[in-house]
Amino acid sequence: MGSGDAKMSGGERRPRELPVFAAEELLVRECARHGTVIVVGETGSGKSTQIPQFLMERRTFGGRVAVTQPRRVAAVSLAKRVAWERRTKVGGLVGYNVRFDDCTGKKTRLRYLTDGMLLREAMLDSTLKRYSVVLLDEAHERSLSTDLLFGVVKRAQQERRATNMPLRVVVMSATLDVQLFMRYFSSSDKTGDAFDEPVAVHIRGRQFPVELRYATESQQDYLDAAIVTVLQVHLSERENKGDVLVFLTGQEEIESCAELLEEKAQLLPPNALKLQVCPLFAALPAHKQLAVFAPAPPGSRKVVLATNIAETSITISGVRFVVDTGMVKAKSYAASTGLELLRVGPISQEQAWQRAGRAGREGPGKCFRLYREQDFLKLRQRSVPEIKRVELSQVVLQLLTMGVRQVDKFPFIEAPPTDALRQAVFQLVALGAVSVPSRHASAAKKSDGGDAPQGPELTELGRRMAALPLEPMHAKFLIESERFGCTEEALTIAAMLSVESPLFTPRNARREANSAHRRYLSFEADHLTLLNVFGAFLEAKADAKWCQANFLKFSTLHKARKVRQQLVGMLSTVLETSALGSAKADSTPILQCLVSSFSLRIAQRLPPDGKPGVRYKTFAESLETRIHPSSGLARRDPPPEWVVYNELVMTSKKYLKGVAAIDQKWLVQFAPALFQAQAQAQARGGKTGGEALAAGPKRKPKENDAAQAARVDVR
């Protein structure tokens, strides 16, 4: 940060040459007249940094301004940037609020938040009355929480319509289906009042021509192709010292690509420019992210290896060459299998254009597409919104907390699949977070003339789960830990599961790293390995040098420690007692607590049938998987019969990650909603409950009675 100060005016450092300044008066006028303004402007035109400031500075709007971002790094870096432009500290007039990190104060009037955090605020106050303006940025990304926020602000706008502080909404994007948003925000009852009619404002960006190059044949290995392309560009474009931006799919891929590129950079001819490799992904520690924004040192060229984070949400100056692998990592979910996977797949045409555009921000550029033109033409035009491809139990929990009983009636901008909603209700019923009034009771209410809304209802447990900013099963794990007397351990486990793996294995010191890691390894549960690592970290006084010597990532452990502290605070408002129980050296309560809260993530070992390796069948989806080779349990002999797992991931194969061995008896004891009915049914057939369970799941839990009930009422 900090380059180009000379162009900035007065005491502040706002870059007045940004295209958005030409539209300032128009934007302010339209916001005063209309309840909803849709702003479309090229990435880098100044939307996210400047428009919120325009609105905050005008008395007309009063109150506070919120700006949402789908990604936490964007929220944090924008707040820091705006504070820097205004020569103030972040947390003063300008602040940010992202999960586990609240940097706002009493004076904060401009708040950058992740969309998920604003949604949390809406769960406590559905009209968002502390804000006079809400800006929903990166709307084209159609992230899950932003999609829900469209509905939330629309409802809030209607409710605040007649008050002295109407809610103004600004939807911002680099590229947008404007018609969809205009229709969505138009008031259904034609009042004739301009406030009820949305308006669109287009901001002209500065875009230089970008020369497109396609691959002539399809690539076997896009990673390899990306490295070769970067080196070719670097060596052939000696005159043009512009930086290179490479779009990859995720952290691991970026880290291995960075290592390879750095190795190759050593072999460059001595007279060539140096290569400076900068990774950029969401989980990268803040100080390393800053390196991406800093200009390359003289005599060198920067190569930024980024996820789709650099498509629109983060602008990196100096880029003249883009290498587009055409791939992205995204979630996909099919209610029919109940399986949500993070998988690598092709981008949309719209994303490809955004990526190419990054090369033409500061001058003519070049974009190398590592796929053929005919393959580009086969890509879908726009990406499918997240709400249509993720598991929805957290969404349903949030909607119910906001008082939306008939979740399918919520004003979604595009509704999720009905099956996925039903499946989510089922999951919450199975977890005990939601109850579905019996058909009998609903009929009685109707004949009474009672107007109570029908549909699923939060239980006390569900209400407490919703108060924690965690996935439902993780939230239940923390709450249940009170009953099992292992809250201290559960807090550490939940915190450690919310960060990436703390183990660090450099390519040139694999053996040393593995032997260092072995000290913490548990063959009983990966959760216990995490506890061991965290315990050792605290014992070593959270020392960075100690981490390095033991092949552990200091920044990850440091983050986990901060997350844990925040969770302690949040949990204190949810638990019944203030004293936190500890299981001390006994792992049983922790494992039992896992069974009770992750009851939808249980798998049983399959008998050997000649196929290589030890395979497991997941109980909920009946899928064949294996334990991930990084797990301590993958090395256990004999392998455990029953396991509970934290996630199912799909790389080249399906793997269980975060695995713990459990006792089969605990299934009926601690997850009766799922396992008791089955055990009883099979016991009637002459087997004991245990034998029946050992015989394996006979039917998918989605077909059980709770699901049947849910199915009726969600419709």
Q: Residue 278, interface with ligand ADP (CB under 6 A)?
A: no
* Cα–Cα nearest to 496, from 567, 430, 548: 567
Count of residues that bind ligand ADP according to CB under 6 A: 16
Cα 256–Cα 262–Cα 264 angle in degrees, nearest 5: 105
Q: Residue 492, interface with ligand ADP (CB under 6 A)?
A: no
| Beta pairing partners, 647 | 657
Minimum distance, C-beta of residue 170 to ligand ADP, in the bound complex (Å): 12
CB atoms within 10 A of CB 70: 23
Binding piece for ligand ADP, criterion CB under 6 A, among 40-48, 383-391, 439-447, 661-669? 40-48
d(CA 330, CA 250): 10
Identity of the residue, 138 or 471, whose beta carbon is nearer to ligand ADP in the bound complex: 138
Minimum distance, C-beta of residue 239 to ligand ADP, in the bound complex (Å): 24
Q: Residue 427, interface with ligand ADP (CB under 6 A)?
A: no
Q: Residue 625, interface with ligand ADP (CB under 6 A)?
A: no
Minimum distance, C-beta of residue 204 to ligand ADP, in the bound complex (Å): 12
Minimum distance, C-beta of residue 690 to ligand ADP, in the bound complex (Å): 58
Identity of the residue, 361 or 389, whose beta carbon is nearer to ligand ADP in the bound complex: 361
Of residues 280-309, those binding ligand ADP (CB under 6 A) = 293
User: Can you tell me which of 317, 566, 669, 676 binds ligand ADP, judged by CB under 6 A?
Assistant: 317
Minimum distance, C-beta of residue 71 to ligand ADP, in the bound complex (Å): 12
Q: Residue 689, interface with ligand ADP (CB under 6 A)?
A: no
Q: Residue 357, interface with ligand ADP (CB under 6 A)?
A: no
User: Can you tell me which of 14, 34, 41, 115 binds ligand ADP, judged by CB under 6 A?
Assistant: 41
Identity of the residue, 1 or 538, whose beta carbon is nearer to ligand ADP in the bound complex: 1
Q: Where are the beta strands (DSSP E) in 414-522?
A: 434-435, 457-458
Residues 6+ apart with CB under 8 A from 619: 600, 602, 603, 604, 674, 697, 701
CA distances for 2 relative to 85, 96, 195, 379, 460, angstroms: 9, 20, 39, 39, 51
Q: Residue 77, interface with ligand ADP (CB under 6 A)?
A: yes
Identity of the residue, 77 or 127, whose beta carbon is nearer to ligand ADP in the bound complex: 77
Minimum distance, C-beta of residue 75 to ligand ADP, in the bound complex (Å): 11
Identity of the residue, 112 or 619, whose beta carbon is nearer to ligand ADP in the bound complex: 112
Q: Residue 1, interface with ligand ADP (CB under 6 A)?
A: yes
Q: What does the block give as tokens for 282? A: 């969401």
Q: Residue 18, interface with ligand ADP (CB under 6 A)?
A: yes
Q: Residue 187, interface with ligand ADP (CB under 6 A)?
A: no
Q: Residue 175, interface with ligand ADP (CB under 6 A)?
A: no
Minimum distance, C-beta of residue 203 to ligand ADP, in the bound complex (Å): 8
Minimum distance, C-beta of residue 277 to ligand ADP, in the bound complex (Å): 19
Q: Residue 90, interface with ligand ADP (CB under 6 A)?
A: no
d(CA 232, CA 229): 5
Q: Residue 176, interface with ligand ADP (CB under 6 A)?
A: no
CB 551 within 8 A of CB 513: yes
Q: Residue 49, interface with ligand ADP (CB under 6 A)?
A: yes
Identity of the residue, 41 or 632, whose beta carbon is nearer to ligand ADP in the bound complex: 41
d(CA 667, CA 94): 50
Helix (H, G, I), strand (E, B) or coil at 645: strand
Q: Residue 640, interface with ligand ADP (CB under 6 A)?
A: no
User: Can you tell me which of 14, 34, 47, 628 binds ligand ADP, judged by CB under 6 A?
Assistant: 47
Residues 6+ apart with CB under 8 A from 245: 303, 304, 306, 310, 316, 319, 321, 322, 323, 358, 359
Q: How does DSSP classify residue 405?
A: -
Query: Concatenated DSSP letters for 525-536?
Result: BHHHHHHHHHHH
Q: Residue 48, interface with ligand ADP (CB under 6 A)?
A: yes
Q: Residue 46, interface with ligand ADP (CB under 6 A)?
A: yes
Binding piece for ligand ADP, criterion CB under 6 A, among 37-45, 477-485, 549-557, 694-702? 37-45
Q: Residue 151, interface with ligand ADP (CB under 6 A)?
A: no
How would you classify the pairing of strands 101-103 and 654-662?
Answer: unpaired
User: Can you tell me which of 81, 301, 388, 553 binds ligand ADP, judged by CB under 6 A?
Assistant: 81
Identity of the residue, 135 or 468, whose beta carbon is nearer to ligand ADP in the bound complex: 135
Binding piece for ligand ADP, criterion CB under 6 A, among 48-56, 342-350, 392-400, 536-544? 48-56
Identity of the residue, 317 or 406, whose beta carbon is nearer to ligand ADP in the bound complex: 317
Q: Residue 549, interface with ligand ADP (CB under 6 A)?
A: no
CB 203 within 8 A of CB 19: yes
Alpha helices in 310-438 (DSSP H): 349-357, 373-378, 393-401, 418-431
Binding piece for ligand ADP, criterion CB under 6 A, among 5-13, 36-44, 177-185, 432-440? 36-44
Q: Which amino acid, one-letter code, is at 48?
A: S
CB 587 within 8 A of CB 532: no
User: Can you tell me which of 36, 45, 68, 308 binds ligand ADP, judged by CB under 6 A?
Assistant: 45
Q: Residue 43, interface with ligand ADP (CB under 6 A)?
A: yes
Identity of the residue, 103 or 461, whose beta carbon is nearer to ligand ADP in the bound complex: 103
Helix (H, G, I), strand (E, B) or coil at 133: strand
d(CA 190, CA 491): 52
Identity of the residue, 54 or 184, whose beta carbon is nearer to ligand ADP in the bound complex: 54
d(CA 333, CA 386): 10
Minimum distance, C-beta of residue 65 to ligand ADP, in the bound complex (Å): 14
Alpha helices in 379-471 (DSSP H): 393-401, 418-431, 439-447, 460-466
Q: Residue 207, interface with ligand ADP (CB under 6 A)?
A: no
Q: Residue 315, interface with ligand ADP (CB under 6 A)?
A: yes
d(CA 414, CA 412): 5
Q: Residue 142, interface with ligand ADP (CB under 6 A)?
A: no
CB 646 within 8 A of CB 658: yes
Identity of the residue, 293 or 666, whose beta carbon is nearer to ligand ADP in the bound complex: 293
Binding piece for ligand ADP, criterion CB under 6 A, among 45-53, 144-152, 248-256, 372-380? 45-53
Minimum distance, C-beta of residue 317 to ligand ADP, in the bound complex (Å): 5
d(CA 465, CA 482): 13
CB 293 within 8 A of CB 319: no
* Cα–Cα nearest to 368, from 216, 251, 141: 216
Minimum distance, C-beta of residue 138 to ligand ADP, in the bound complex (Å): 8
d(CA 267, CA 258): 15
Alpha helices in 540-614 (DSSP H): 544-549, 554-572, 588-597
Q: Residue 44, interface with ligand ADP (CB under 6 A)?
A: yes
Strand ranges of the sheet holding 131-136, from the earlier edge strand across to the other edge? 101-103, 94-98, 110-114, 64-69, 131-136, 168-173, 36-41, 199-203
- Positions that interact with ligand ADP (CB under 6 A): 1, 18, 41, 43-50, 77, 81, 293, 315, 317
